[in-house]
Chain A
Amino acid sequence: MIKNISNLGDAALYCDFGKEINKDINTHVIKYFKTIQKRNIPGINNLTPSYNKLIISFDLKKINFNKLKKVIDNIEIIKGDRMQNKKFEIPVCCEKEFSLDIKRLEEKLKMKEEKIYESFFEKEFFCYMTGFIAGMPFLGDLDENLRAKRLDTPRVKVPKGSIGLTEQFANIYTFESPGGWNIIGNTPLNIFDSTKEKEPNLINPGDLVTFKRISKEKYQNYHE
């Protein structure tokens, strides 16, 4: 449930669902997000769900903070509207040319490369949110022993398809972008397709994701 609603500037509601980050809290965030999206409330022009927050942007010409807060305070979350979790298996190649930060991670985590991959590929991840860049899925939770901080100096260009780790999350760079996550491999799969206007994102909040290691040969022939 929403613990508190405050204003973020003069044209957004900042809904706080509590301090912790876990699937339960995030599931509430996503339920609110989906309910509000379905209601088509006049004036709302954007929604940003994240781990434990929901930001509701609105057009200040049409509605203001207090009026919209009342609507959200009284909104009834559709019960029994079960979240549809899709499941995905993402192919990942971990050859040297793709695993840009694996050596750095071995040092940071004091773990051997093979152990890092073993632990990573065993996991089923939950998609908490998408964004930063278009379609990028924030996937959790990494095992405690795989959690590392971002690079001290972010890369100017992280290649498209890169799989990155930081703190309790994994993500996939949907296109070439600056970024500071620890890169351990690359997927040939297209995660964001802007030509599909209805569903450009392959992975959406609530979906379940596993990764599968593939050879370089398979990676190269993936689109053939």
Chain B
Amino acid sequence: MNKNYFEIIRAGINSTFQDLGRSNLYHIGVPFSGAMDNRNFLLANKLVGNDHNDPVIEFAYQGPHLKYHGDKINIAITGDVSFKIKNGDNLIDGECYQSFILENGDELDIISTNKSVYGYLAISGTFDLKFQWSSCSTNTKAKIGSNNGEKLSVNQKINVKEINNSFVNRKLNYVNTKIENIRVIKGTNFDYFSEEGKKIFFKNEFKVSKLSDRMGMRLEGKKIENIVDTNIRSEGLIKGVIQVPADGNPIIMLSDHGTIGGYPKIGVVVSADYDRLVQLTPGSTIKFQEVDLNSAETLFKLYDLETQNLISQI
């Protein structure tokens, strides 16, 4: 029997298990999925002494309220998140990028993310999860992955298989930086758009719409005029692709995206900016800046170095 588990008092808006996702399945229609904000995912695992690809709980906006039952365990939360830990009569304000010990009966209330979308909860141990195509990542639209492809729901139990008993206190000084511009490489259908439309794309601001989730981010702004064809022959998509359908409003493909699409691709967000892109909340503004392939590769190297550097500081 599982003696260590979390009881879910409140599940949160969209709490799912995630790891680095699953690859080599686009051709059958299954996307990568995985943690939206890769850096914060990696940091959460390092803060509790896990392997880099161990499953964590990703939450959006409001997180879960959990009650822990079992032997003491370390937890860490990353992102820009407000949370409280209740042990007995003590109510402690939690801090991100710091490990905390939970004892039997303690409660963890992840109240909300602050001016960001996603946060991560890692535990010093392994969740008891089903893996599918060597990943636990839950894709709720396709009903794939752990928890039967569903988000967490109230009153369910999250079982913990093993606890690693190194209760080292770990901490990192890190602030999630906001980004002025999202950098973009021109897409394969860039020339489908009018000169005015191209200008609008790179000069104007767009608003992140409420219709955004793990599949895609819809933007609202001045209409980008298409002068060739508002449809292309259906072809593959990758995360970060910015499609512009007939209504002229861009849609950015995110981690759970459909693998094939038929709207023209005006641009692709560079890999280095993906983590910060997904954290933009509905109502915030976004501005695109054009870069070439060489610069995008350099930006990624810098992003990756910075991530490795942060990990090594823990």
C-beta contact mask, A65-102 vs B, less than 8 Å → 1, else 0? Answer: 10000000000000000000000000000000000000
CA distance A138 to B28 in the complex (A): 11
Interface size for A (C-beta < 8 A) is 45
Give Cα A131–Cα B133 distance, bound, in whole angstroms.
Answer: 17
State in angstroms the CA–CA spacing of A57 and B32 once bound together.
11
Chain B residues, Cβ within 8 Å of A208: none
Pairwise interchain contact A48-B258, C-beta atoms closer than 8 A: no
CA distance A48 to B133 in the complex (A): 17
Q: Mark B20-35, 1 if CB is under 8 A from A, else 0.
A: 0001111111101000
- Say which one of B77-85, B100-108, B292-300 lies at the interface with A: B292-300
Complex: A132 Cα to B26 Cα, angstroms = 9
Kindly report which residue of chain A lies nearest to residue B257, judged by CB atoms. A132
Binds B, one of A9-17, A111-119, A182-190, A211-219: A9-17
Within 8 Å of chain B (Cβ to Cβ): is A6? yes
* B234 partner residues in chain A, CB cutoff 8 A: 50-51, 129, 132, 138
**Contact call A50/B144, Cβ cutoff below 8 A:** no
**Please, which residues of chain B bring their CB within 8 A of the CB of A175?**
142-143
From B26, B29, B236, B238, A133 is in contact (CB under 8 Å) with: B29
User: B221 near A: Cβ within 8 Å?
Assistant: no
A124 to B296, CA, bound (A): 46
Contact residues on B (Cβ < 8 Å of other chain), bracket:
35 or more
Contact B300 A57 (CB under 8 A): no
Q: Considering the chains assembled together, what is the distance between the CA atoms of A57 and B269 in angstroms?
A: 14
Within 8 A of B (CB), among A188-224: 192, 194, 197, 200-201, 204-205
Whole-angstrom distance between the alpha carbons of A11 and B26 in the complex?
15
Chain B residues whose CB sits within 8 angstroms of the CB of A129 once the complex forms: 27, 234, 260
Is A8 located at the chain interface by the 8 A CB criterion? yes
When the two chains form their complex, are residues B27 and A49 in contact, meaning their CB atoms are under 8 A apart?
yes
Asked if residues B238 and A131 are in contact (CB atoms below 8 Å), the reply is: no
Q: Kindly list chain A residues whose C-beta atoms are within 8 Å of the C-beta of B248.
A: none
Asked if B3 is at the interface (CB within 8 A of a chain A CB), the reply is no
Q: B188 near A8 (CB under 8 angstroms)?
A: yes
The 6 closest A-B pairs by CB, nearest first: A48-B236, A9-B268, A55-B236, A131-B29, A10-B296, A134-B29
- B interface with A by C-beta (< 8 Å): 23-30, 32, 132-133, 141-144, 185, 187-188, 233-238, 240-241, 258-261, 265, 268-271, 293, 296-297, 300, 304
The 23 listed contacts between A and B (C-beta, < 8 Å) are A7-B185, A8-B187, A8-B188, A8-B241, A9-B240, A10-B270, A46-B26, A47-B24, A48-B235, A50-B236, A51-B234, A55-B26, A129-B234, A129-B260, A130-B29, A131-B28, A131-B260, A132-B258, A133-B29, A134-B142, A138-B234, A174-B29, A197-B133
Known: A46-B238, A53-B233, A175-B142. 19 other contacts (CB 8 A): A6-B188, A7-B185, A8-B268, A9-B238, A9-B269, A10-B268, A10-B293, A11-B271, A46-B26, A49-B27, A53-B235, A55-B26, A61-B304, A131-B27, A132-B234, A133-B258, A135-B28, A135-B29, A194-B142
